[in-house]
Amino acid sequence: MNHEHFQAIRSRFNRYVARFRGPDGAFPAMQALKRRHTAHVVADAGRVMAAEGWTLPQVLLGRTAALLHDIGRFSQYAEFGTFQDSASVNHAERGCAVMLQEGICDGLPEDDARIIFEAVRRHNGITLPPDTAADAARIAYVVRDADKLDIFRVMEEAVESGQLEHNPEITWNLQLTGGVSEPMLAALDAGHAINYRDVTTFCDFVMVQVSWLSGQLHYAASRRLARERRVLEYRERLVLARCDDPRVRRYFQRLSDLGGADA
């Protein structure tokens, strides 16, 4: 894939997203949030790929997949008024359907299109299926890492700005009170993958993000960025201010003993 391919895809993406502008020409708040998220994910993917020393064609593929990873979010929100997949559609599958329907990847070499679809489809699963081809996995992992890195920022900004009170859909309309729930604590303690159905409070939501720091960031450069941004420390303060549970405290202690985002 080359620069011309990337530019063509970016134009199609921008034209598609522009359909979600409101009557005044501005993007509604939640669509604007996803546009901003997308731009940050592309930037973070770029940082990770640069640190990992990727070649230009690989970088272009990674940037394209990052640009398209949440293309399904726009129609999801327009149709259902939520970003919660379990209450609407799987936004990754929706994204692949939109890309096909809109011919977003038309003209790309077949292998590149396959890799991009795979990265979009797999960007939100708990893990990548073990049979994912190596060329697709490399790109899917950079999207998954950059996505998580920016989800950290989105939540922090929502907390700091007070936007969470106005747009609780950012954290799935979860109740803002209450501590870490029992099934979450059990999964964290056992080191098991978290079942998103067990996420019932804001603290649970934050703990899902914390659990990503333990084995869910694939590239060393991603883990370094998370450490530099003090992702773990921020969440520790946030959760412990809401629930001073010794088991939660111990969990954070264990993670920070391991060096924050695990090495």
∠ CA 126-132-135, nearest 5°, is 120
How far is Cα 113 from Cα 181, in angstroms, rounded to an integer? 41
Residue showing the smallest CB distance to Fe ion in the complex: 70
Of the pair 72, 179, the CB lying nearest Fe ion is at 72
Task: Return the range that interacts with Fe ion (CB under 5 A); candidates 44-52, 54-62, 70-78, 135-143.
Answer: 70-78
Of the pair 70, 112, the CB lying nearest Fe ion is at 70
Of the pair 52, 93, the CB lying nearest Fe ion is at 93
Other C-beta atoms lying within 10 Å of the C-beta of residue 233 = 13
Of the pair 124, 171, the CB lying nearest Fe ion is at 124
**Closest separation between CB of residue 123 and Fe ion, Å?**
6
Of the pair 76, 211, the CB lying nearest Fe ion is at 76
Under 8 Å between Cβ of 48 and 222 = yes
Q: Which amino acid is at 1?
A: M
Of the pair 70, 204, the CB lying nearest Fe ion is at 70
Q: Does 44 bind Fe ion (CB under 5 A)?
A: no
Helix (H, G, I), strand (E, B) or coil at 216: coil
List the one residue from 16, 27, 60, 70 that touches Fe ion (CB under 5 A). Answer: 70
**Closest separation between CB of residue 95 and Fe ion, Å?**
8
Of the pair 120, 226, the CB lying nearest Fe ion is at 120
Site string for Fe ion, 119-138 (x = CB under 5 A): -----x--------------
Size of the site for Fe ion (CB under 5 A): 2
Which residues are CB-contacts of 73 (< 8 A; sequence separation ≥ 6)? 34, 83, 91, 95
> DSSP letter string over 49-66?
HHHHT--HHHHHHHHHHH
Under 8 Å between Cβ of 111 and 135 = yes
> DSSP letter string over 113-175?
HHHHHHHHHTTTSSS--TT--HHHHHHHHHHHHHHHHHHHHHHHHHHHHTHHHH-GGGGTT-B
**Closest separation between CB of residue 10 and Fe ion, Å?**
18
Output phi, psi for 232, to 5 deg.
-65, -45
**Closest separation between CB of residue 65 and Fe ion, Å?**
12
Q: Binders of Fe ion among 86-125, rule CB under 5 A?
A: 124
**Closest separation between CB of residue 248 and Fe ion, Å?**
27
Applying CB under 5 A, which residues contact Fe ion?
70, 124
